[in-house]
Structure 1
């Protein structure tokens, strides 16, 4: 999908009227919902982080848009979304450059998929300067729509793109991916034990993920 198509899709998923902001290289839609807010990228789908899914004889390319929820003004999760998108873009470009230069060892890839840790993403978004205690991030399947995750499928040969993205020969799925911001202690647990253990502990302790000053 191009940016206009993605913005239309995202706007159909989230309530309220969006305000669009340019955050670095990315456009982000911000929604204010009472004392809560949601921010979602509308052009991160142009970034290829190397994900594919195989079902039977078919291989499908997977792209995503990043969303973040907070109990703050929408500009705060918006900056976090922009920082996460930038971090993933930089990692994809670095890996591509290393492969083209036949470098060894190759940089560790960062994929836009659940469980991917984003060290320092809150710092990139300048959150600590504003008194927020969340400084890192992890990507997760969003649950705000229940167990079913919305997606858009574009068939092979019908993928709509805009520069610098290029349509290949594969069908494409685009899905929302949630950015959850973490404190130092939460990030350390995720790095040591994995995202599943982190989320289980946070659920047991009743951690408010929307509280960026927890």
Structure 2
């Protein structure tokens, strides 16, 4: 994993202000920080009518992950991007964070994890979540390293019922291959399927 840019430790655990500063420096658009349903999120408008939402304090949630190299706790901030409004991306990211928090460490926040039925919004055809390594940074995942903890970005993509069913039956790897092969636009949350 690579740091973009290299981060220094600011004490024992990253706080909300430090997290906001780090996220502001790595997201390729100005972030607006707001409370949405009692969770502090960073929201941004991107090119091509895309909206971005990400958590800013989810790194305080232990989902049970540790580095295989040295046992360091691995935490994350959750991010999603779509060609839809900010209320929809905020609802999706909050629902995903709630799901992990309710699992109380039994559901790891890592690529390949699928979350069923997390979003039910009018005019949106995607209801299920899949976590992937983020692609905003060209394959490199930004990270914030501090003593005893590593915080990464984890990206949520939303799936239709049929895409989710395919992923459950055939596996996430085959689903990702089929998405690429068929040119499915994962940013379109009103797509058929």
TM range (shorter): 0.7 to 0.9
Which structure has more relative contact order (CA 8 Å, sep 6+)? It is 2
| Structure 1 portions without partners, runs of 5+ | 96-108, 156-170
The count of aligned residue pairs is 177
Superposition pairs of residues 167-206 of structure 1, within 5 angstroms:
171-206=148-183
Q: Please, what TM-score do these two structures have when normalized by structure 2?
A: 0.88
Deviations 1:192-211 (A, max 9, x none): 12211111100000011110
Q: Do the aligned residues in 2 keep the contact of 1:88 with 1:110 (CA within 8 Å)?
A: yes
Which of these residues, 42, 56, 59, is aligned with residue 71 of structure 2? 59
Q: Shift of the alpha carbon at 1:25?
A: 4.1
Pair 1:77 & 2:101 matched:
no
Q: Is the 8 A contact 1:30 1:75 kept in 2?
A: no
Q: 1:137·1:181 contact (CA, 8 Å) conserved in 2?
A: yes
- For the pair shown, the structure with the greater C-alpha radius of gyration is 1
Cα RMSD of the aligned pairs, angstroms, is 1.2
The TM-score, its normalising length taken from structure 1, stands at: 0.79
Find the partner of 1:11 among 14, 24, 30: 24
Instruction: Quote the Cα distance in structure 2 between the aligned partners of 1:3 and 1:197.
Output: 37
Q: Are positions 1:86 and 2:63 aligned together?
A: no
**Aligned equivalent of 1:143:** 135
Name 1:27's counterpart in structure 2: 40
- Return 5+ residue gaps in structure 2 as ranges: 1-13
Structure-2 residue corresponding to 1:208: 185
How far apart, CA to CA, are the structure 2 residues paired with 1:4 and 1:42? 9
